[in-house]
Structure 1
Amino acid sequence: MAPSARLTTAQRYIANFGTLDPQTLAPLLAENYHHEFAPASLNPPGPFDKQGMLEHNARLRDIMSGFPVTAKEYVESESSNQVTVWATSQTVFRDEVKDKGVAEKEWEYQGEYVFMLWMEEGGERIERVVEFLDSKGTERLMGLMRRARGNREGQGI
């Protein structure tokens, strides 16, 4: 049996993190798209609408060639037209934004996430995402991202 449109859309959404390509992300997001990060105690960015999410990904793409997310499990709910994804990730920072003040291994942040995705009626576009961040690791990741942005700006890239 072929996977549902809902599950296929969720898989494509998760796969997009590997490239952060706006051309493959934009068609997956409904016009009324809403994305929020949790828990709020981390003071995460957002929430984002469709354009805001595309801009957020563009900022990530400035410092990373990818942020591959690997699903550990997909849980699909037909009744709520939703897919929950338990996943892990690893950053791929661009070489030009790294500096010797951080060991190469430290630039390879790995995290664990839960994505809750609600779909439009046909299951082909996502209306809402709640992304639960890795509480313990996100502060370290934010520090690496700030450092990478500072390095990028300092080099005039």
Structure 2
Amino acid sequence: SPLHGIAITFLAAFNDLDGSAHVALRTPDCQHFFAPASLNLVSPKSNEEFKAHLTNLHAVMEHFPVAAKEIHVHDSGPNSQVIIWATGTPAFRAEAIDDEEDWNVTNEYMFILDFDESQKIKRIVEFLDAKTTGRL
């Protein structure tokens, strides 16, 4: 399905923290929400705010490969949705870490992608691994 392919492209854009690749998949007014609220992350982010967020991450990470464990596509026209269960292992820049073991982590993520009728992402809810993300 085209939505499955978009989900794969969405995850691949994290590898190089490519904000432009992410925004290309989205509607101009797409909002990106982070959860859980206990992480106290600024949410929602506009496309430009999300690009800036990735730029900030790129200052401390070389790459951020994210791989799907499961992708569930619910294709129902203007109310289509994709749910992704994924893992990601950030590759931190050497100058950004103190002790390699403390920074060698694999996180789990859940992404809910809501689509418009043109198969652009109009809303993203990203659930982060609260235990390890909070530590970083």
| TM-score of the two chains, using structure 2 as the length reference | 0.91
Matching of residue 58 in structure 1 with residue 55 in structure 2: yes
Matching of residue 137 in structure 1 with residue 132 in structure 2: yes
Give the counterpart letter for 1:82 in structure 2: Q
Residue in 2 that maps onto 1:126: 121
Q: Which of the residues 13, 28, 51 maps onto 1:16?
A: 13
In the TM superposition, what are the counterparts of 1:58-77 in structure 2 within 5 Å?
Answer: 58-77=55-74
Per-residue deviation, residues 85-121 of structure 1 (Å, max 9, x unmatched): 001111111112223xxx2122122111110001121
Residue in 2 that maps onto 1:49: 46
Distance in 2 (alpha carbons) for counterparts of 1:97 and 1:55: 19
Does the aligned pair in 2 maintain the 1:5–1:122 contact within 8 Å? Answer: no
Residue in 1 that maps onto 2:108: 112
Does the residue aligned with 1:136 lie in a helix, a strand or coil? helix
1:137 Cα deviation from its structure 2 partner = 1.7
Does the aligned pair in 2 maintain the 1:66–1:92 contact within 8 Å? Answer: yes
Give the counterpart letter for 1:84 in structure 2: I
Identity of aligned residues (%): 40
Residue in 1 that maps onto 2:85: 86
Does the aligned pair in 1 maintain the 2:19–2:50 contact within 8 Å? Answer: no
Residue in 2 that maps onto 1:152: none
Give the counterpart letter for 2:17 in structure 1: L
Larger radius of gyration: 1
Matching of residue 31 in structure 1 with residue 58 in structure 2: no
Q: Stretches of 4+ moved more than 6 A in 1? A: none
Give the counterpart letter for 2:96 in structure 1: V
1:61–1:32: structure 2 CA closer, same or farther, 3 Å change rule?
Answer: same
Give the counterpart letter for 1:115 in structure 2: F
Distance in 2 (alpha carbons) for counterparts of 1:38 and 1:22: 20
Distance in 2 (alpha carbons) for counterparts of 1:57 and 1:29: 15
Per-residue deviation, residues 6-46 of structure 1 (Å, max 9, x unmatched): 22111101111111123322211210110001111221232
Unaligned runs of 5+ in 1: 142-157
How many residues align structurally? 134
Unaligned runs of 5+ in 2: none
Distance in 1 (alpha carbons) for counterparts of 2:16 and 2:74: 27
